Structure 1
């Protein structure tokens, strides 16, 4: 998912995008790789049940090329990274603060946070939670 959401190669444990492309003796000439993430709005029901909102589905894809460039698509139409970000933000996925996913290694980092940041620029548990909840914008 991080790849589709535009994270740089270093953030997804890679030196460059082209190393994500399959390369084996049987498949030497593959020039790109693509990942799609599909979305649809739902209405939560009781328990694990939900109802899909009609015509709310869309998908975002990113293709990495051998020359380390990438191309984005929204539901099959070529778009910019900015377009993808705007669309995802409009659906409540905050790419700026990455609070929709907790990555490997971050659980311990979060658990070890001080209760409150010592200075205005420190982030403790209080500031972290305020950021997730959104009340930090009110300060």
Structure 2
């Protein structure tokens, strides 16, 4: 599933109607992620797109994240981001699948500390775009 998302990423491209945009970089391995978010009138995520370059893990994680956040409120996304971070950094027996969907397959990244930043890049980007405002699209 990770290779499928990395090779044929969902929601990859540009989103000209975005309300929020952000670019994050992972200086450790050179991943660059540009994320654009469109909110609906109720404040939920109506659409999201990402572009940039990165390793298989960062691209797959971004693809999975975009699938899971559409239709969610910023508060729900914040809860998902916290759960994702906890899933790949803490040793817990929680069942993350209900909250994170397919992204739960990235749980194994915890065994590879050098790849944790790759997996979390997209999740940090969506959190920052929604919570801190990102950059307003003009």
Structure 1-normalised TM-score?
0.27
Q: Larger relative CO (CA 8 A, sep 6+): 1 or 2?
A: 2
Tell which structure's C-alpha radius of gyration is larger: 1
Structure 2-normalised TM-score?
0.27
Give the structure with the higher percent helix: 2
